[in-house]
Each structure stands twice: as structure tokens, then as C-alpha cells.
Amino acid sequence: MLTFNDVEFNFKNQPVFIDLNFNVDEGEFLFLIGKSGAGKTTLLQMIYMNILPQSGYVQFDRFSSDTIKPNLLPDLRRNIGIIFQDFKLLADRTVYENLAFILQITGAKRKQIKRKVFQVLSEVGLAHKQKNKLHQLSGGEKQRIAIARAIINDPKLIIADEPTGNLDPETSEEILEILTSINQRGTSVLFATHDYDLVKKHKAKILRLKNGVAEEVKQDEI
């Protein structure tokens, strides 16, 4: 479903990726680890093709970085749910409005939007918070809303960029449990993190970025 093939990328003449190769299969859960500056965020941006390789290619579903045209980017990104460390929610809107906005862009009808928003909020345990403004929510609740937003279009892949970086350990485990549950439904998950303790509590494929390449490692090697 997702393939990085011989990807090279330099930033300001500094190599980020030298020969990056890996795959994410349909329904797979993968942890992405590596030191700060190893290129985790750059890699994630390459998946939704905000950044393109300078050599090699990234293939997601039917979309390839070699051939994709700007008018196809919305189609690509509707199949990818993105979760950020700092949530990137709309502070002046309610929980419901933050989620409904995503469906309104696609032209969904009001009845469909109402049903889908309730569904995804129920999945993250926050159906009772849909009228709340963001300042009324905890950090963990905001991240749950961000997860709900990521899954509202039924994506094939969720990419999470340090989604527990600002959360306490207990809340971090709750977020991981939610993403695990979503993965068990068949959605692929790529989870970038510095929290190695969290990685060691969940059996999944682990990919480490180091010196411009990716290597699969085991839990006792991190």
C-alpha cells in the first residue's frame, strides 16, 4: 500500500535520506523512531506528497511521487488521516464544527455530517463533548478530537507525528489504545514517536531512521 523506493532527499545541501527503502502493508501498524533531526517529519510529509523525493519515488495506493499532478493531491490526501503533536484544531470552533468542516469540504449533506461526526466522536469516547469549545478540553481530549478528525473520511492510512509528545504517560497509553483499535479494523497506522517506553508496550513493526536510511529493529534493540 505504501512504498518508499531508493528515496534520496537533501535539505540545504545536507543529506536527510540517502537510500530510503521500506513498505507499509495494508492493515499494518508501524512505529517510526529515530533521533531528532533523523527525518521523521520529512518522511511523513513525503507520504502525503507535501515534499517530493529528489531521487527515487514514494508510492501510496495508486499515487506515485513520480507522476502525481497537483489536481490529484486532494484525492490522495482524502485517503490519509493525519494526527499532529500540536493538534492543529480550529480554536474558535466547537468540537462538532471542527469535524463537520472536514466533511463540508467534500460536499457531504447535513444529515450525513451529523451522523458521521457522532460516529467518530463515539469511537474516541467524546460524543458528549461535541458542543464544547477547545479551551474546555484537556490535552488528551484535544488529541482524541484530532484522531476523530483523522478518521472521519475513512482513510486507508493514518500517520501520526508525535501524537503523544505533549501528553502524560497514562493519556499517551489511552491514545495508543485508540489507534490500536482503529488499526484492528483494518486501517494502517504509521506512528512516529520518541516515546520508546510506549513502543515497548505494543507489539508492532518498528522502523528506525538513522544516517539517512531505514532499518527494521526489535523491541530489545531500542
Q: What pLDDT does 13 receive?
A: 82
Q: What pLDDT was estimated at residue 12?
A: 85
Q: Taking 90 as the threshold, does the pLDDT of residue 139 lie above it?
A: yes
pLDDT confidence bin for 141, thresholds 50/70/90: very high
Task: Give how far Cα 166 sits from Cα of 33, 85, 162, Å.
Answer: 17, 7, 8
Q: What is the pLDDT of residue 36?
A: 87
Average pLDDT of the chain to the nearest whole number: 95
Domains and CATH numbers, the chain: 1-79+155-222 (3.40.50.300), 87-154 (no CATH)
pLDDT at 201 over 90: no
How far is it, in rounded angstroms, from Cα 164 to Cα 180? 14
Region 173-197: mean pLDDT is: 96
CA dihedral of 26, 24, 84, 219, whole degrees rounded to 10: 110
pLDDT digits (tens, 9 = 90+) for 6-31: 999 998 888 999 999 999 999 999 99
pLDDT at site 67:
97
What whole-number distance in Å separates Cα of residue 180 and Cα of residue 56? 31
Asked if 125 contacts 171 with a C-beta cutoff of 8 angstroms, the reply is: no
Q: From CA 99, how far away is CA 126, in angstroms rounded?
A: 12
Rg for the chain (alpha carbons), in Å? 17
38-92 pLDDT per residue, tens: 999 999 999 999 999 999 999 999 999 999 999 999 999 999 999 998 999 999 9
Please provide residue 221's backbone torsions phi and psi, each rounded to the nearest 5 degrees.
-105, 5
Give the β-pairing of 188-192 and 55-60: unpaired
Q: According to the model, what pLDDT value does residue 9 have?
A: 97
- Residues with Cβ within 8 Å of residue 105, at least 6 apart in sequence: none
